[in-house]
Amino acid sequence: MFQTVGHDIIEYYSQCLDVPLYRQAITGNSANQNLEYSPTDNDEIEDLFLLLSNIKQQHPEIEGVSCGAILSHYQRTRVENVCERLGLTSLTYLWQRGQDELMREMCVAQMDARIIKVAAIGL
């Protein structure tokens, strides 16, 4: 579920935005591939749970987590599961938005973007 392309430059985002960066080693794999997620030993989502648990302990004022899922039910439900267990709100503002509409909004905002990876369902 996690994106690894460009992971070696993520610290630069932290520096440019002047925000802290928190990392957690991914020791699990996608052990639970069901559409609906429930906590599963050795699943990569439990690594996300550990990371967000630690962040919440350090920053109890945090109330939510943003998820960029547009059409991935798999991704959205996993973030929602972790948020529910931690008492956080899952923010999925892009969920099921029309692709044409999103592209127009990005153009209007003059977003300067680079495609670094393309993937498709089932790959």
- pLDDT tens-digit readout, 23-52: 999 999 999 999 899 999 999 999 999 999
Half-sphere exposure of 88 (CA within 13 A, CB side): 25
CB atoms within 10 A of CB 83: 19
Q: How far is CA 44 from CA 1, 19, 93, 112, in A?
A: 8, 25, 24, 31
- pLDDT tens-digit readout, 88-117: 999 999 999 999 999 999 999 999 988 887
* Domain edges within the chain: 7-96
